Structure 1
Amino acid sequence: MRAGAGALRSAEVGAESVVSWRITVRGARAGDLRRPRPEQRLRMVSGRLFRIEAVAESDCKGRYLICHAKEETDA
């Protein structure tokens, strides 16, 4: 996991912090049910939740995928 640039945005109850992440996972072919898709979520054992915005292969052989995601926090 690698954090990207952070931002501050308005929310219903006030400002909220948003951090973009690049999360590397094992590769799966397009159409495979194991391949992450945009709008799905990744949950860590610690309870952190990440909403996937885009998925791309990290190498030409497709061994790994990069999930571009944003961390979701409880309001």
Structure 2
Amino acid sequence: MTAVDQIQVLKSNATGAGFLQALKDKWVRYSVYRKTLNELSELSGRDLADLGLNRSNLRSAAYAAAYGDQ
């Protein structure tokens, strides 16, 4: 019975580590999204036009940069 208990403890620890890693990954992607959005927001209309963007699609461009085209 002790072996089964140890296996379940190891399994729950691995799940906890996976949860923390997933949480960290989400935070990193969100940080990339916010940083990209802030940097794009600081550009002039002319600079945005050079990039093929306008103010109305900055959020979608930042989302694509952080999370990929989904």
Greater share of strand: 1
TM-score (normalised: structure 2): 0.26
Greater share of helix: 2
TM-score (normalised: structure 1): 0.25
